[in-house]
Amino acid sequence: MKRKKHQRTHRVVLAGAAGLALACTGAAGLAVAASGPGHGHGQGSTRPSASATTGDACDGTLSYTQLDISATASTNTRHVAVADLDGDGTQDVVAANLDDNSVTVLLGQGDGTFATGTTYAVGTHPYQTAVADFDGDGSLDLATADFGGAQVSVLLNDGDGGFGAAGALDVGEAPRALAAGDLDGDGNADLVVAEQGPSAVRVLLGNGDGTFDDQGDTSTGSQPHGIVVADFDGDGAADVATASVGSDGVSVLLGDGTGALGTATDYATASRLYSLAQGDFDGDGTTDLATVSNGSNTLDVLLGEGERDLRDRRRVHDAGSARRGRRRGP
Ligand SMILES: [Ca+2]
Ligand SMILES: [Ca+2]
Ligand SMILES: [Ca+2]
Ligand SMILES: [Ca+2]
């Protein structure tokens, strides 16, 4: 296994954090937002907390200042996302409040601090938020996976970082995660939803006006808990990958460019996967995957091979051990 040495490790301890997001925030440098049940779970005191650099660039020279942000009185904020929601060039934060059936939007003020949060009602038990421009007006909108309600809530941006009443889309049971991407290449943002109940991913093709066409379910590994959209085989069409909490593996479903997904190919990993991230981690130009295991406290990195041959390009291998990919389904 190849290992790259890192010059420096930065560690920030956030007790009980379950979600984490990082972003360069212009003059404020790097902002860190974290969330989790450990912050007073069940005591009505959970809130997103944030730290920011005191430097003026994201150059790896970091010092942290703890910012006490009381974003919400609700409990159990499970996920945070970072995006510029009001278009002022400064990154903002949106927190999904699992037990308050709401999201809280914290607008960044450009100096590492955030304005008082504004909370918007969504469906039952929102577990994760995805950010994209669903109505094509140039402002980023929000969608939540409402775990308890078998719904996805969509909140459209008014252009200033404010959001209207949530619209609801019915999906499969126990949606745990969702991601935005353009599955059919029409320029409109689409959604993919990881459904823990049926162990499937649902594709919702965006019409570009904030509405979606439901394309139905495609099976994944057992109980998907994380989901990403990226082009894993390099054919220009968006694909989907999910991380399973129930079957110790990552499923890759190749898109055909029309919004349809092929049969999942599963890759074995450590147990109880809770989240999934994509990126080119080894710099070879192909898309890789990283997933963390709640069961064994490990990080699995799956490096994409990206060959054009169909059989080869379905392969992803585990950076830490021999390839264990196997074809799923009949
Ligand atoms: Ca902003
Ligand atoms: Ca929009
Ligand atoms: Ca689309
Ligand atoms: Ca592809």
pLDDT (tens digit per residue) in 280-306: 888 888 999 998 888 777 888 888 886
The Å distance, Cα 119 to ligand 2 centre, comes to 18
Contact 17, 34 (CB under 8 A): yes
Residue with tokens 């162990």: 199
The reported pLDDT for the residue numbered 271 is 84
The reported pLDDT for the residue numbered 63 is 55
The reported pLDDT for the residue numbered 38 is 37
Residue 230 DSSP code: E
Burial-class residue 283 by CB neighbours within 10 Å (0-12, 13-18, 19+).
exposed
Nearest to 39 by CA among 74, 82, 81: 74
Tokens of 252: 């890759």
The reported pLDDT for the residue numbered 76 is 77
What are the residues whose beta carbons fall under 8 Å from the beta carbon of 322, sequence distance 6 or more? none
Tokens of 117: 């949060």
The Å distance, Cα 312 to ligand 4 centre, comes to 13
How far apart, in Å, do the first and last CA atoms of the chain sit? 33
The reported pLDDT for the residue numbered 292 is 83
- With a cut of 70, list the residues of the chain below it in pLDDT: 1-75, 306-330
Give pLDDT tens digits for 90-144.
999 899 999 899 999 989 988 877 888 899 999 999 999 999 999 999 999 999 9
Task: Please state, rounded to an integer, the average pLDDT across all residues of the chain.
Answer: 78
The Å distance, Cα 95 to ligand 4 centre, comes to 30
Neighbours of ion ligand 3 (CB under 5 A): 182, 184, 186, 188, 190
The reported pLDDT for the residue numbered 126 is 96
Q: What percent of the chain is modeled with pLDDT above 90? A: 53
The Å distance, Cα 263 to ligand 3 centre, comes to 20
Q: What percent of the chain is modeled with pLDDT above 70? A: 70
The Å distance, Cα 282 to ligand 3 centre, comes to 29
CA distance 119 to 122: 10
The Å distance, Cα 257 to ligand 3 centre, comes to 9
The reported pLDDT for the residue numbered 22 is 54
Rg (CA), the chain: 19
Tokens of 66: 């703890």
Q: What is the largest CA-CA distance in the chain?
A: 55
> Ligand nearest 86 Cα, by number?
1
The reported pLDDT for the residue numbered 195 is 98
Burial-class residue 235 by CB neighbours within 10 Å (0-12, 13-18, 19+).
middle
The Å distance, Cα 121 to ligand 2 centre, comes to 18
CA distance 327 to 330: 9
CA distance 100 to 76: 8
The reported pLDDT for the residue numbered 298 is 81
What are the residues whose beta carbons fall under 8 Å from the beta carbon of 27, sequence distance 6 or more? 56, 110, 111
